[in-house]
Structure 1
Amino acid sequence: MSSTHNQEKLKELLTQYYLNTNEKMVFLNKKGQVIALNEAAEEVFSEDNDYSQMTHAICRRCEGYSNEFDLMSCENCFLEALEVGNGSFQVFMRTKDDKIEPFTASYEVIDKTKEIYAFTLHNVSPQIERQDRRYQRLMMQKTISAQENERKRISRELHDGIVQELINVDVELRLLKYQQDKDELIDNSKRIEGLMSRLIDDVRNLSVELRPSSLDDLGLDAAFRSYFKQFEKNYGMHIVYHTDFSSQRFDSEIETVIYRVVQEAMFNALKYAQVDTVYISLYQGEASIIAEVSDQGIGFKLGDKAKGTGLGLFGMNERAELVNGSVNIDSQVGRGTIVTLEVPITDKR
C-alpha cells in the first residue's frame, strides 16, 4: 500500500472523526480568530456569532479554568501560558443556552509555521455529577460513622463514669441510715460530698464538650479560656493562647465554627503531633477573624493519606465553608503543623 494512499485514508478518517465526534474542536489563528469548528463545537461557539471576526474568541465563552490548586481566571490564562496545553485541563465554558458547563480541554499548536492552534473540549458534567454523588455518599457514611462513634464515647463516659459515681453515691446513702456513731456519720457524709463534687465535674465536662454555655453567653474568648483550662487538666497538654480581643461578639454561627475548628485542630495535635504544647492565636483583621493552631510536632507530608478516618480535616473545611471561610494547613515533616482558619466578619451580634 503506497504512502499516498495511506495519507488519503488517514485524511478521510480524520475528517470523519472531526465531523462525527462528540468532542468540540475549534481551530484558531494566532489572533485567536476561529478558522474552523465542527458541528459539536457549535454548542459553545455558534457560527451565528461570527467568531471568525473576533480576536480571542475563546475568551468570549470562557468562565475560567482550574489547575491542581485552584480555580483560575484571566491571570496566568492558558491562552498565554502554552505549557498548560501539554496535557488536558478543566475549563468552564458558557454554552449557547447560557449554561456554564465543565469541560476537559486541550490547547495545542498544530502548525508552528502558520501559528494555528487546536482547542478541543469534552463535556464532563455527567462524570463530575457521578463523582459528586459518590463523594457525598462516602462523606455521609463517614459522618454517620463519626456520629455513632461519638455516641458510643458519650455512652461509655456516662456508664463508666457518671453512672458508676451515682451508684457509689446511692450505696453510701443507703449505708448512711445505719450509722450510729456521729463522727462516722460525719466522715461518710464528707465522702458522699466528695463523690457528688466529682460527679458534678464529670457532668460539667461532658456538657462543655457537647456545647459550652460560655460560648453562647460570653463569647469566643471566654469559651476558649474555659475550654483550654479544662483541656490542660484532662490531657496534660500545655496551651499557649494569645488574642487581641475579649468581649467582642459575632454572629452565632461564626463563633460556633471558629470554636469547633480550633477544637478539632487541638485534638489532631493531641493525637498525632507527639507534642506537649500547642500554640493558639485568635485575632481580628480588617474584615476577618483569623484563628491559628500550631505545634512543633512530627508534622506530615501534605497530600499523604490522612491518619485516622480523615473526617477531621474534611469537617474543618466543611464547617469553614458554612460561613464563607477557609482553612489552610501547612505542615512539614519534623517541623510541625499550622492550621489557619480565616472567616470573613458579618454583622456583629
Structure 2
Amino acid sequence: MNEQETSKLTQILEQYYEKTSEMIVFLNSKGQVINMNQAARRVISEDNQSSLTHAICSRCEGYSNEFAIQSCRECFLESTTIGNSSFQVYMQTNSGKVEPFTATYQTISQEDDVKVYTLQNVSPQIERQQKLHQQTMMQKTISAQENERKRISRELHDGVVQELLNVSVELRLLKYQDNIENLKTQSQHIERLMSKLIDDTRNLSLELRPSSLDDLGLNAAFKSYFKQLEKNFGFIVHYHNDSDDIRFNNEIETVVYRIVQEAVFNALKYGQVDSVDVHMSCESNFIEVEVADQGVGFVLGSEPKGSGLGIYGMQERAEIVGGTFNIESKVGKGTNIKLTVPIA
C-alpha cells in the first residue's frame, strides 16, 4: 500500500471513528482514557476520564456477568487475562437513561499496552426479543387458559350436571311413591347423590382457588390439597414442612402453591407412582420446595405430555417472583423438582 492509499485509509478510519454509533474508548496501561470518539461521550463525560475504573464503574449498572445486576463478581476490569469475547452491560448515559450495551475489552497494542473498550447499544434488539417473548408467552397463556376452561367444562358437564340430572329424576319419581319404606329408601339415595354432588363441587372449587390459601397460608393449603388427592385418587403425598406457619406475600404464596400443585399432579398423571415426596423449608430469605418421585421419569427437552403450560409455565411463574426452578429427571429413576423463591 503506497503513501497515498495509506493516507486515504487513515482518513476513512478517522471518519468512521467519529461518526460510528459504536462507542470506542482507548486506554493506557494505567487505565487512563487516552481518547474516545463522539459516540462514547454519550456515556463517559469529559470529567470522568481520569481512569477506566472511575469512567466505567461510575456509569455501570451491572450485568457484566451472569450472576446478578449491580454485581462486580468476575468483572472484566478485574480479569487477569483480556480476551476478545463480548459481554453485556447496562450503562447510564449522560442523559441519565440506563441502556443495554454489548461491550468488548481487549488489548490492541502489546508494546504500548494500549487497550480499547467498545460499546454497542442493543436496545432495539432487546426490545424485539422482549416483544417476541411476550407474544410467545401470551399465546401459551391463552392456550393454557382455553385448555383449563375445557377441562372445567367437562368436569361440570360430566360430573356436576349429570349428578344434578340424577337428583332431578329421583325427585320426580319420589312424588309417585306411596309406600313409606320405598319413600325412605329413595330419599336416602337422593341424599347420597347430593352428598357426592357437594364433594365434587368442593373439589372443583379447591382446584380453582383453595380458600385455605388465602385464609391460613401455604402449609394449610398444602395439607388440604394433599388430603383431597389421597381421598379422591388414593395418591399419597409425604409432606414435610420444616418451617412454622409463616405467611408470605400473596403473590409468592400463589406461585409456590401452583407450581407444587402442577408438579404433584404431573407425578400422579404421568409418573406411574402411587406416592410423592414434598419438602418445604424457609431458611434465611428463601422458601425452598422440593417435589420428588421415583416414577418412570422422562428425557428433558422432549415433547411434554398433557396440556397447559407444564414445565414452561412453572418456570415462568417462578420468574415472576424472582425465583429459580430446576428440574432433574432420568428415565426409569424418577423426577426431582426444586423451587427457590426469595421472600425479602
TM-score range, shorter chain: 0.7 to 0.9
Aligned position for 1:114: 112
Q: Does 1:190 align with 2:188?
A: yes
C-alpha distance in 1, partners of 2:81/2:166?
73
Match of 1:22 in 2: 21
- Identify which range, 313-322 or 172-181, moves more after superposition: 313-322
Q: Quote the Cα distance in structure 1 between the aligned partners of 2:131 and 2:30.
A: 41
Aligned amino acid, residue 43 of structure 2: V
Amino acid at match of 2:40: A
Query: Which residue in 1 is equivalent to 2:324?
Result: 327
2:215 corresponds in structure 1 to 217
The alpha-carbon distance between structure 1 residues 235 and 108, as it changes in their structure 2 partners (threshold 3 A), is farther
**TM superposition shift of 1:247:** 4.3
In the TM superposition, what are the counterparts of 1:298-313 in structure 2 within 5 Å? Answer: 298=297, 300-301=299-300, 304=301, 307=304, 311-313=309-311
Deviation at 1:84, TM superposition (A): 7.2
CA deviations on 1:74-100 (whole Å, 9 max, x unpaired) are 111112336674322211111111221
Could you report, residue by residue, the CA deviation over 1:290-331 in whole angstroms, capped at 9, with x for unpaired residues? 332233442544xx3773678344544554455x44133142
Paired residue type of 1:307: P
Deviation at 1:271, TM superposition (A): 4.7
Residue number among 43, 54, 57 corresponding to 2:51 in the alignment: 54
Q: Could you tell me how far apart the structure 1 residues matched to 2:195 and 2:153 are?
A: 21
Aligned to 1:130: 128
Which whole-Å CA distance do the structure 2 matches of 1:133 and 1:285 have between them?
36
Aligned counterparts, 1:156-235, within 5 A:
156-235=154-233
The question of whether the paired residues in 1 share the 8 Å contact of 2:27 and 2:52 is answered with no
Which AA in structure 2 matches 1:21? T
How far apart, in 2, do the equivalents of 1:236 and 1:7 lie? 84
- Residue matched to 1:64: 62
Structure 2 spans left out of the alignment, 5+ residues: none
Residues 283 and 16 of structure 1: is their aligned pair in 2 closer, same or farther, counting only changes over 3 Å? Answer: same
Which SS does the other structure have where 1:101 is aligned? strand
Counterpart of 2:174, as a letter, is L
Q: In the alignment, is the contact (CA less than 8 A) between 1:23 and 1:122 conserved in 2? A: yes
1:36 aligns with: 35
CA displacement, residues 226-271 of structure 1 (integer Å, 9 cap, x when unaligned): 1002123444432110013454444444433332232123234445
Identity %: 55
In 1, Cα distance between equivalents of 2:239 and 2:283: 17
TM-score (ref. length: structure 2):
0.86
Q: Secondary structure at the match of 2:240?
A: strand
Q: What CA distance in whole angstroms lies between the structure 1 residues aligned with 2:284 and 2:93? A: 39
Per the alignment, in what secondary structure is the counterpart of residue 201 of structure 2? helix
| Deviation, structure 1 residue 22 | 0.9
Per-residue CA deviations over 1:53-81 (Å, capped at 9, x if unaligned) read 32423223222234456546211111233
SS of 1:39 mapped into structure 2: coil
Note if contact 1:299-1:337 (Cα within 8 Å) is conserved in structure 2.
no
Structure 1 distance, partners of 2:65, 2:302, is 21
Counterpart CA distance in 2 for 1:29 and 1:299 is 55
C-alpha deviations, 1:91-129, integer Å up to 9, x for none? 111111122110011111211222211111111112212
Relative to 1, partners in 2 of residues 1:139 and 1:114: Cα closer, same or farther, differing over 3 Å? same
Check conservation: 1:24, 1:40, Cα contact below 8 A.
yes
Measured on the aligned residues, the alpha-carbon RMSD in Å equals 2.8
Counterparts of 1:15 and 1:161 in 2: how far apart (Å)?
A: 77
One-letter identity of the residue aligned with 2:23: K
8 Å contact kept, 1:90–1:105: yes
Mapped to 2, the partners of 1:180 and 1:310 lie a distance apart of 52
1:173-229 superposed Cα distances (whole Å, 9 cap, x missing partner): 111222233333333222222211211110010011111122233332222111002
SS at match of 2:200: helix
Structure-to-structure mapping, 1:227-306, within 5 angstroms: 227-245=225-243, 247-271=245-269, 273-297=271-295, 298=297, 300-301=299-300, 304=301
- SS of the residue 1:331 aligns to: strand
Q: Is the 8 A contact 1:221 1:245 kept in 2?
A: no
Structure 2 SS opposite 1:65: coil
What secondary structure sits across from 1:74 in the alignment? coil
CA contact (8 A) 1:328 1:339 kept: yes
Aligned equivalents of 1:180, 1:50: Cα separation in 2: 100
